[in-house]
Amino acid sequence: MKKIGSLANEKGSRLVLALDVSGENGVETLRRMSVRLSDHIVGVKIGMPFVLSTPLSLLKPVIEEQSEDLVFIADAKLADVSHVNALTSEVLFNAGFDAVISHGFIGCDGGLDGAKQVALRLNKGLLVLVSMSHPASVGIIDRALTEIVREALMVEPDGIVAPATRPEVVSRVRKMLPEGMLMLSPGVGAQGAPFGSAIRAGADYEIVGRTIYGSQDPPAAAAAAVEEQRRAREG
Classify the C-alpha dihedral 118-120-123-128 as positive or negative: positive
> Which residues are known catalytic residues?
77
Binding-site member from 91, 181, 223, 224 for a second copy (CB under 8 A):
91
* Distance (Å, whole) CA 92 – CA 101: 11
With binding defined as CB under 8 A, does residue 29 bind a second copy?
no
Number of neighbouring beta carbons within 10 Å of residue 123? 10
* Distance (Å, whole) CA 222 – CA 44: 13
Tell which positions 43-62 bind a second copy, by CB under 8 A. Answer: 47-49, 51-53, 55-57
Pick 35 or 91: Cβ nearer a second copy: 91
Binding-site member from 28, 61, 110, 120 for a second copy (CB under 8 A):
110
With binding defined as CB under 8 A, does residue 24 bind a second copy?
no
* Minimum separation from the CB atom of position 137 to a second copy (A): 7
* Distance (Å, whole) CA 225 – CA 26: 23
With binding defined as CB under 8 A, does residue 122 bind a second copy?
no
Binding-site member from 10, 28, 64, 109 for a second copy (CB under 8 A):
109
With binding defined as CB under 8 A, does residue 168 bind a second copy?
no
Number of neighbouring beta carbons within 10 Å of residue 7? 18
* Minimum separation from the CB atom of position 34 to a second copy (A): 21
Report, in angstroms and rounded to the nearest whole number, the Rg of the chain calculated over CA atoms.
Answer: 16
With binding defined as CB under 8 A, does residue 88 bind a second copy?
yes
With binding defined as CB under 8 A, does residue 139 bind a second copy?
yes
Pick 40 or 107: Cβ nearer a second copy: 107
With binding defined as CB under 8 A, does residue 2 bind a second copy?
no
Query: CA dist 96 to 19, 57, 99, 200, Å?
Result: 16, 10, 9, 32
| Neighbouring residues of 11: CB distance < 8 A, sequence distance ≥ 6 | 39, 40, 41, 42
Binding-site member from 28, 64, 147, 217 for a second copy (CB under 8 A):
147
Residue 30 phi/psi, 5-degree rounding, is -60, -45
Contact yes or no for 101/127 (Cβ under 8 A) = yes
Contact residues for a second copy, defined by CB under 8 A: 20, 22, 47-49, 51-53, 55-57, 75, 77, 79-82, 84, 87-88, 90-92, 103, 105-112, 132-137, 139-141, 143-144, 147-148, 151
